Amino acid sequence: MLTPMPGYVTFDREMRIACTIAAGCAGLLFAAVSQAAQPIIDNERVTVWDVKWDKDHANPAGPQPNDSVTVWLTAGATHKAGDAVFSHKGTLTGEEGTRFIVVDLKDHRVPPLPNNSGYPNAFPRAGVKKLLENDRVVVWAYAWQPGTPTPMHFHDKDVVVTFFDDGPLKSTTPDGKSVVNEYTFGAVRFNARDRIHTETLLKGNQHAVMVELK
């Protein structure tokens, strides 16, 4: 039986404790990073991230693996809230000191549906503003008016909607059935195409930026 050198047992014990602590800290760090890196929407068409880029820190978004659209929730030095910018694959998007939504566009394109509904397409419509359009997306900004329903309309494209206020919208289908959806500042929804409805702002204010996918 080997006799350990003086102090070896104590050193070995301290090293094992230190390694255990280090492993635990690494695990916590990995968990925190993994939790922070979770997208808010992820499907075959898009991955959507809600990003807050604090001043004097690295951009948490990083270069995007695909073409993307960035929608600013808060204003910065060069962008105001509600701005939308299209970026090509590999671009570092966002702005320091702001919160923004990144819509990462996957390589799974779906053509718009033919509209045989008898109702107009969702966009364009009265009061809407087109922010940008290219071969991947059409981006719109729209503000609902309290108590005034939108025209009944047909969604021919999938759409990612970012909301900028706290205001509930009542959605009503042609058969008269209604559902009330509560939306708050910073909420993001992916809505699939092939829908017919009208929307009414029940109270408060609500406006949104809609990224229609081509």
- pTM flag (> 0.85): no
pLDDT tens digits along 95-137: 999 999 999 999 999 999 999 999 999 999 999 999 999 999 9
pLDDT of residue 37: 54
pLDDT means over runs of 10, the chain (214 residues)? 45 45 39 55 97 90 93 96 97 93 96 97 97 98 97 98 98 98 98 98 97 97
> In this structure, what are the phi and psi dihedrals at residue 116, rounded to the nearest 5 degrees?
-110, 20
- Exposed, middle or buried, 119 (CB in 10 Å: 0-12/13-18/19+)? middle
What is the residue extent of each domain of the chain?
Answer: 1-37, 41-105, 129-213
Chain-centroid distance of CA 55 in Å reads 21
Q: Return the exposure string of 43-81: e unless at least 16 CB atoms fall within 10 Å of the residue's CB, then b.
A: eebbbbbbbebeeeeeeebeebebbbbbbbbbebeebeb
DSSP state of 112: P
Name which of 185, 183, 199, 197 is nearest 145 in CA terms: 199
> Which phi and psi angles does 142 have, rounded to 5°?
-145, 140
d(CA 5, CA 161): 68
The architecture in CATH of the region 129-213 reads: Sandwich (2.60)
Task: Give pLDDT, residue 20.
Answer: 45
